Structure 1
Amino acid sequence: MYTYAFFKSPKHPLQLTEGIAGDLAVIERGVLSALVEPDLEFENIQNDDTQLVQAVLTHDRVICDLFWQVTILPLRFGTQFLSYDRLIDHLSENHEKYLEKLNQLEGKAEYRLKLTPIELELPANPETNGSMKGRDYFQAKKQQYQARLDQQDQQQQELQQILSEIEQVYPNTKLKEGADGIDKLYLLIDKREEMTLYQHLNEWQNQYPHWEMGLGEALPPYHFV
């Protein structure tokens, strides 16, 4: 049984959209519920790359639609239970843990902050000065190399200062370092504080011009479950 998310059993009917290949349904077990797609043949989708990509997008869309109605524990793409009874047993066995987590996430959203280093201005390349030869040339190359190291070091120090300041204001953060030099910081924040977050971001951007800060929209708490 394909499953999208867990949440507290709703007091009012939810607005459910279409799933990956059919209708969605809510399965309740006491105070906990799960959003499922009962008739989905997931194995068939796995064998078709085009369908698989579309299924990933639909999975995220369904979770986001649900997120704006209730507090949820979003599940990874491809999460399945062998049967209805297995799902009910899982909810029964984990209801205390899931309820505690849902209470912690009540009213909160995840925001992704991309931290991109601004390209640094370096001293002129010695190759552009054709009259520079021998010892002067190698000295200029050495100075240029050292200048690059110094600026990179300064930029990394600024990054640590940025992270420190953000974590003082928003302690629920998770950092994902990118191999491309672009770090992603995930913030768990009360959705009502979104405007304050944008104000802080504007202050930090002015304070640290060597880094570009790009903030994404409110999302389900993927990195905090």
Structure 2
Amino acid sequence: MSIYVYALLVPIASPLVLPLGMERNIELVYSSGLGAIVEPEISLEAIQATDERLLQAVLNHDRVIRELFQQTPLLPLRFGRGFTSQEKLLNHLEKHQEQYLEALTQLADKVEYTLKLTPCDLLDDSDNIDAKGKAYLLAKKQRYQTQQAFQAQQCEQWELLNQLILKTYTNVICETRQSDVRQIHFLAQRNDSTVSTQQFSLWQVQCSHWQLALSEPLPPYHFLKNTLI
């Protein structure tokens, strides 16, 4: 059995509402000015024994972190991190106290957003061309040129969006997923309400050839150093 660790935080005066974990209530463990959100007596092997159990465990891991992040800044840890005893956890926190407190300070007033872009398709009406012979071939050629121009405009809009976001936000990560689906992760101020209103509306206008979807404010998953536990 392991002590499963969800996240690290700086202790706060007001009590937290601790959600249910994977199997039981979660707890707060303190050491050297740090707090750890933990769930005792978790078998890392058991929660990953089947695909179904693994998926449920990952969803619960994310749920716990998000519910707590709504209450206080924290450092979310990767799924599957556990310690064999509370003593080893406390020793680890004490050893890396400076590193974790520095990261918490840097991210204390930040939230992460993910902007997802899915390319729009130009309506293919080539089967409805009412022409024959040379007129048909000309219509097909014009259709091809229109498609090429549409795709070129998509690329231009993607580049423009990158420039707009980089001008506004310092911490930005761009990803291209399968089927040309693209994502932009960025950090914003926790109390900045303009992201989901003015900013998102501007991006939609600038990227008319893309379908845009903006996430809710998230813990800074993509902006943690690899050295975090």
Residue-by-residue CA offset, 1:143-172 (whole Å, 9 max, x unaligned): 433432232122101110011011111222
- Structure 2 counterpart SS, 1:213: strand
Code of the residue aligned with 2:219 in structure 1: it is P
- The runs of 5 or more residues in structure 2 that have no matched partner are 225-229
Matching residue's letter, 1:125: S
Provide the residue aligned with 2:217 in structure 1: 218
CA distance 1:126–1:214, change in 2 (3 Å): closer
Q: Indicate the residue corresponding to 1:173 in structure 2.
A: 172
How many equivalent pairs are there? 222
Q: Give the conservation status (yes or no) of the 8 Å contact 1:22–1:40.
A: no
Residue by residue, what CA displacement relative to the aligned partner does 1:6-64 show, whole Å, maximum 9, x if unpaired? 11123333221211011211111111111111111221121133322221111111111
Q: Do the aligned residues in 2 keep the contact of 1:126 with 1:140 (CA within 8 Å)?
A: no
Over the matched positions of the two proteins, sequence identity in percent amounts to 38
The correspondence of residues 57-76 of structure 1 with structure 2, limited to 5 A, is: 57-76=59-78
- Classify the secondary structure of the residue corresponding to 1:150: helix
Q: 2:80 aligns with which of 74, 78, 81?
A: 78
Which deviates the most, 49-58 or 64-73?
49-58
Match for residue 5 of structure 1 among 7, 18, 21:
7
CA distance in 2, matches of 1:207, 1:47: 47
Q: 1:129: Cα distance to partner?
A: 4.3
Matched, 1:125 2:126: yes
Counterpart selection for 2:27 from 10, 25, 28: 25
Distance in structure 2 (CA, Å) of the matches to 1:18 and 1:204: 38
Question: Match for 1:107: what amino acid?
Answer: D
Amino acid at match of 1:99: L
Matches of 2:132 and 2:195, distance apart in 1: 56
Superposed counterparts of 1:35-184, under 5 Å? 35-121=37-123, 124-125=125-126, 128-129=129-130, 131-132=132-133, 140-184=139-183
Amino acid in the other structure paired with 1:111 = Y
In 2, Cα distance between the equivalents of 1:182 and 1:152?
14
User: Does 2:200 correspond to 1:198?
Assistant: no
1:102 CA displacement: 0.7
Partner SS for 1:161: helix
Q: Distance in 2 between matches of 1:89 and 1:189?
A: 33
Q: Unaligned 5+ residue runs, structure 1?
A: none
State the 1:197 CA deviation: 4.3
Q: Given the two structures, how large is their TM-score scaled by the length of structure 2?
A: 0.87
State how far apart, in whole Å, the 1-side matches of 2:127 and 2:25 are. 66
Conserved in 2, the CA contact under 8 Å of 1:126 and 1:141?
A: no
Contact in 2 for aligned 1:9/1:30 (Cα 8 Å)? no
Q: Aligned equivalents of 1:81 and 1:132: distance in 2?
A: 74
- Flag the 1:150–1:196 CA change in 2: closer, same or farther, 3 A: closer
Partner Cα separation in structure 1 for residue 193 and residue 186 of structure 2? 11
